[in-house]
Copies of this chain bind each other. A is one copy, B any other.
């Protein structure tokens, strides 16, 4: 099987393969341009006659479960990143697979983290052919250097749901690590010693995978309530001593930034939102978990308090900051896709207005709408932005693939997408002539906020009008780029090989860009 074949230039001008790991894929056709005409994937019809009459699906161990599930060469095995860098299960799965002599598996995690470094040996020995999923850190580096046998495929959270729903990725066995479950397979993330919040990333897998295994260290009598995952989709339940390390779910920082530049960026962002009339009674936003994003949330919170307003909802990645706002009555709901600290977990367990969402409700582009478009303002990071407002979130300017996409692409559909970024990092300018890897088309990115000025996408004449009489430092993106280059010099393009190591999917399943091999210094 060739890693990739049939290169074409897509609607974004990027050269991408249309044959990937032996399967046909559609090149990016423009935002909202590709309209699917097929039908969703149709899983096999099951029968209660083939499941235990008393509902007890517990079997002795993960190995038995994988064997019963029919583990075979070439299968697609999915896992989830609710424990982020505290996942304990993926390694066990592939240890078992290797022990059983399996080859050419496709690992389909919702994201991979540095804790998955031990899986590199299975990528090297052919147990795992490839990872299709976001690769944070070491696995991304491994892929960047062209060492993965198959081609990496990166999808957003919504794109992952879409690809499973549409039958583009057919999952043979899904293993769901669950902080609490009952013998029938109902499961949740809010209870138990390893509570991590929610299990939304596993929803598509539970609905569409051929076989579903729930692994838990907190087996409770039926019914496990809330049942974020329905046992009616589950084949086997396995008890283990420890299902994950909840203290490692922490994402970003838990402190607001102290860097004067970042504080300035946060303040400018909040002021921009206020001047543009975005902050108002009943508005909604998504900030994020970095120090700058947290600071912006704090500014929003202050504005709401001062004016006696209340936000309708915060779209999260939750942590202590939105939880405080919910508990102080500054917002009606947190719509949470992933808890980023244990305060988020507690709040989701205790507060019915802290709502469990999934990539289906929030991000699936192949639904009858999703709620990403209803968020008034979204604050996102980027590794690079270019003069056409295109942005990159997966590779560094040296070409290394070190970050996942997460829900980033999906969030671009908000009513206003703002990227607060420093003008340069380690003396490397962030605004470029062209991004190394295209993850987000510029037409969806509205505002770039830096410590030396704010650039508004010329397509957003409405926003330009709204802030034109403010005292905000509005500049063109070229002005910002020039300013950075005056200080740091014009950055060199990274030297990359011709061959492709991974592709970036767009939210509709089309191929947006290719990631090229990094010419390693070793």
Contacts and interface: CB of A to CB of B under 8 A. Distances in A.
Interface of A: 32-55, 57, 165-166, 184-185, 212, 221-223, 225-227, 230-235, 282, 312-313, 333, 335, 352-353, 355, 360-361, 364-371, 373-374, 413, 415, 508
Q: Identify which of A45, A234, A282, A365 gathers the most chain B CB atoms within 10 Å of its CB.
A: A45
B48 A39 contact: no
A352 B227 CA distance: 12
B40 A36 contact: no
Given A55-B374, A232-B367, A36 B32 contact: no
Secondary structure call for the A interface = loop
- When all copies of this chain in the complex are counted, the total is 2
B227 A46 contact: no
A281 to B, nearest CB: 11
Given A50-B35, A222-B312, A312-B221, A45 B166 contact: yes
26 contacts: A32-B47, A36-B45, A39-B45, A41-B42, A45-B366, A47-B365, A47-B366, A48-B366, A48-B413, A51-B368, A54-B374, A54-B415, A55-B369, A184-B369, A185-B368, A185-B369, A221-B282, A222-B371, A223-B313, A223-B355, A225-B333, A225-B352, A231-B368, A232-B360, A232-B361, A232-B368
Contacts of A35: 47, 49-50
A115 B342 CA distance: 51
A38 B48 contact: no
B312 A48 contact: no
A232 B364 contact: yes
A46 B32 CA distance: 12
A404 B115 CA distance: 56
B42 A369 contact: no
Contact of A39 (B43, B165, B231, B232): B43
A376 to B, nearest CB: 10
Q: Which 7 A-B pairs have the closest CB atoms?
A: A39-B42, A32-B49, A42-B42, A51-B369, A232-B367, A36-B45, A55-B374
A212 B42 CA distance: 20
Contacts of A57: 369
A368 B223 contact: no
